[in-house]
Chain A
Amino acid sequence: MSNVTEAEVRAEVRQWLSDNWNPDMPLVEWRRKLADSGWGMPQWPREWYGRGLSHPLARVVEEEFANVGAVRAANSGVRLLAAATLLEHGTDQQKKKFLRRILTGEDNWCQFFSEPGSGSDLAGATTRADLQGDFWIVNGQKVWSTSAHHADYGLLLARTDWDAPKHEGLSYFIIEVKQPGVDVHPLRQMNGHASFNQVFFTDAKIPQENLVGRVNEGWKVAMTTLMHERRGADGLPPPRNRETRTGRIHAEERAEAEKANEPYKWYPQRAGRVDLIIERAKETGANKDPYIRQEIAKLMILAKSAEWTARRARAAQQQGRPQGPEGSLGKLAASHVARGCSRVHTMITGTEAMLTGSESPREGIIAEILVSVPAVSIAGGTDEIQRNIIAERVLELPKEPRFDTGPFRNVRRN
């Protein structure tokens, strides 16, 4: 890490922006400048498109970009998970080949981890990769791959040794999505949206140099990806005020964001829309029903408490204290809030909650809440898995007896 002060960084980035920033430039051309100067990802190492700055100094750079409204490096979807994983485990050749095009947004990425037979138990993957000559040949099926239909590359976890124990026979690859052996099909969800894909591999090919980390050590690499995924909460790009800015580059960025955000457009409904509860109670007159008033109060108490618990976790983090149990509880709390919302929205709206479409309450939003909430307690680790994690890691309760030890070949599976 270089020994620069905040003032120096601020001055330097300001100068660079005034010399280079031009909203009429093509998006990719600008982002190439970002990658090559290191200002796109200032917290990355100098030798790999960064400037080796600490996180607080990287935030200074972000502020300066925001001040002039300059577009940042591409950061939506799975690309930054891929980048973080490559920075930690990739070869120099892989970093050289992929990192720059990740930042410019020229390549899109997706994740091939979950399978129909291994959801919560990710390490039970049965998609196989077999080395034949210079290529790994992949066969199997992955699921829940967001944006796989737009992706150029996928992060793939596949089994390479069936005689090793479960976690020790997996390898981690970068696979080219646009090739004959990879079939991407949208997966329609119960709420009608198709945000994810199921992906079938039939003798798909991966060149040997696309193995990340060592053979059969893929689980460790996958942990890096997952750690960054949890930290980034959902991979949703941060909301930005793109609407009002003019110039070619902003138009291109808006189009890119629209495409990247498409799969997530129902996520506010998935979370239950607690923000609409009191408003809806007043507009329907349900606020006069003493029973519904009690239910609204219960829900609002839960939602507020969850919000304050998240703030406590953040405050602890900012003060450099180890995160208390409140940190690992957020996801479970969010499930309770979403379910509560679904129940109370039903009470408030009553019979009309059955309607969808333009004649329905709030033009379908209420109905969409009701059919989207079931995803909250499943996606990103089910409530039951969260409870196991809390019980074993926070409360330090003894582990369950295991039935999946020994050679994976002999482990019972779907």
Chain B
Amino acid sequence: MATPEGYDPAVWRRMSEELALPGIHIPEEYGGAGFGAVELGIVMEEMGRALLCAPYFSTAVLAANAIMNAGTDADKSALLPDIANGARLATLAITEPDGSWDPASIKVVATPDADGYRLDGVKSFVVDGHIANLLIVAARMPGTAGLQGLALFAVDANARGVERRLLESMDPTRKIARIDFRGAHAKLLGSLDTGATPILRTLDQAAIALANEMVGGAQTMLDSAVSYSKLRVQFGRPIGSFQALKHKLADMLLEVELAKSAAYYAAQAAAVDDPEWPALASLAKAAASETYLHSAAECIQIHGGIGFTWDNDTHLWFKRAKSSELFLGQPSYHRELLMQRWGV
């Protein structure tokens, strides 16, 4: 976390080589373990619980899913095996400086040229954009608007015309970058016919994975608050014996269990391709966002003064909760999406 890269390459190597985690949901034919959304959710929950700082969300969740959703067999064979074995760090660039998570507002333009496409425009809030070798970029054909003319492109992060800048941001555990494209060479993933579908699918899958990560983090906040309230003594008794704290902690447990149910249910629905799964992705994202942030805030509150210090780790979870709340769209955005997807 404290290094400019934001992660420990030795830990990443072990995660990749010994546990084969980056490819857990990638089919075996592309070098992965062949599991699905449920298993990915389990991995994310544990990473959230530990507040792991690693390019997993960017590489495995965002980029790998985008390639699987959009790419041809040839694209997948070319790109996925190195993601599955941890050799290639990748990410997905969707959002632009306006911060919108609606693909309709994408402005980066892909202009066809002799050997593919050239990208022009600016992406922002790109997770691990400063360290990825491979960028999957959502862009639109010249002269198109809304959800028309959108596609995903693979871009070598070190190519000419790509300028990356680490953004100063609140959450040191998950770093974000701004990326300027000035005529950068890009390769189309899949075809132009699929339109926005692979992008929307990738965002919904990411929302479910992030929801599972968030409930893991929320559980840590609850555990930490409970154990501190048993240790800390004031007025001659452990503060956890006061009803004001007991009731707060019972409410936290309820909230965490409810959000877990939503995150698990959405992952299961995605795994079996239940037609309702995109709606449930929004449901889980909204639920887990509120719960994680609330649990982190209450954990600080229960720690009292020490909870507000830099030396106490709680603030790191709080900051991850805050960045996760906003990433992929805040709860109000997902609640509105849920209503639309349910046809209300």
Chain A residues with CB under 8 Å of chain B are: 278, 281-282, 287, 290, 293-294, 296-298, 300-302, 304-306, 308-309, 311-312, 325-326, 329, 332-333, 336, 384, 386-388, 390-392, 394-401
Contacts and interface: CB of A to CB of B under 8 A. Distances in A.
21 contacts: A278-B342, A287-B339, A293-B336, A297-B286, A297-B336, A297-B338, A298-B335, A304-B262, A309-B258, A312-B261, A312-B264, A329-B257, A384-B243, A384-B247, A388-B250, A390-B254, A394-B250, A395-B246, A397-B241, A399-B241, A400-B243
Interface string B256-275: 01111110110000000000
Contact of A308 (B250, B253, B261): B261
B230 interface: yes
A278 B344 CA distance: 7
A142 to B, nearest CB: 28
A397 B246 contact: yes
Contacts of B339: 287, 293, 296-297
A329 B250 CA distance: 9
A190 B332 CA distance: 36
Contacts of A329: 253-254, 257-258
B335 A301 contact: yes
A297 to B, nearest CB: 3
B229 interface: yes
B13 interface: no
Q: Which of A301, A304, A386, A398 has the most CB of B within 10 A?
A: A301
Interface of B: 226, 229-230, 237-238, 240-241, 243, 245-247, 249-251, 253-254, 257-262, 264-265, 283, 286-287, 332, 335-336, 338-339, 342, 344
Contacts, number: 113
Given A301-B287, A304-B262, A326 B257 contact: yes
In the A-B complex, the 4 residue pairs with the closest CB atoms:
A297-B335, A391-B246, A308-B261, A305-B258
Given A281-B344, A293-B339, A297-B338, A302 B258 contact: yes
A388 B286 contact: no
Given A300-B338, A399-B241, 20 more contacts: A293-B344, A294-B336, A297-B335, A297-B338, A301-B287, A301-B335, A301-B338, A302-B258, A308-B264, A384-B247, A387-B251, A388-B250, A390-B253, A391-B249, A395-B226, A395-B253, A397-B230, A397-B238, A397-B245, A398-B241
B113 to A, nearest CB: 43
Contacts of B260: 309
A390 B250 contact: yes
A193 to B, nearest CB: 29
A274 to B, nearest CB: 14
Contact of B283 (A287, A304, A332, A384): A304
A154 to B, nearest CB: 34
B235 to A, nearest CB: 11
Contacts of A398: 230, 237-238, 240-241
Contacts of B226: 395, 397
Residue of B226, B229, B261 most packed against chain A (CB within 10 A): B261
B34 to A, nearest CB: 25
A332 B247 CA distance: 11
B284 to A, nearest CB: 9
Contacts of A281: 344
A397 B283 CA distance: 32
A287 B344 contact: yes
Contact of A301 (B250, B264, B283, B344): B283
A330 to B, nearest CB: 10
Given A305-B287, A308-B264, A329-B254, A296 B243 contact: no
Nearest to A329: B254
Given A298-B335, A326-B257, A397-B230, A308 B262 contact: yes
A251 B287 CA distance: 48
Contacts of A384: 243, 247
Nearest to A308: B261
Contacts of B245: 397
Contacts of B283: 300-301, 304
Nearest to A399: B241
B247 A305 contact: no
Contacts of A309: 257-258, 260-261
Contacts of B246: 387-388, 391-392, 395, 397
A384 B339 CA distance: 33
Contacts of A325: 253, 257
A304 B93 CA distance: 32
A333 B230 CA distance: 25
A312 B335 CA distance: 24
Contact of A401 (B229, B241, B262, B335): B241
A293 B341 CA distance: 12
A398 B226 CA distance: 11
B246 to A, nearest CB: 4
Contacts of B287: 301, 305
Nearest to B258: A305
A332 B254 contact: yes
A387 B247 contact: yes
A293 B335 contact: yes
Given A301-B335, A305-B262, A312-B261, A397 B253 contact: no
Contacts of A326: 257, 261
Contacts of B247: 384, 387-388, 391
A325 B250 CA distance: 10
A213 B251 CA distance: 38
A315 to B, nearest CB: 11
Contacts of A304: 262, 265, 283
Given A287-B344, A296-B339, A297-B338, A395 B249 contact: yes
A278 B229 CA distance: 41
A246 B100 CA distance: 63
A16 B260 CA distance: 48
A281 B339 CA distance: 11
B41 to A, nearest CB: 14
A348 to B, nearest CB: 11
Contacts of B240: 391, 397-398
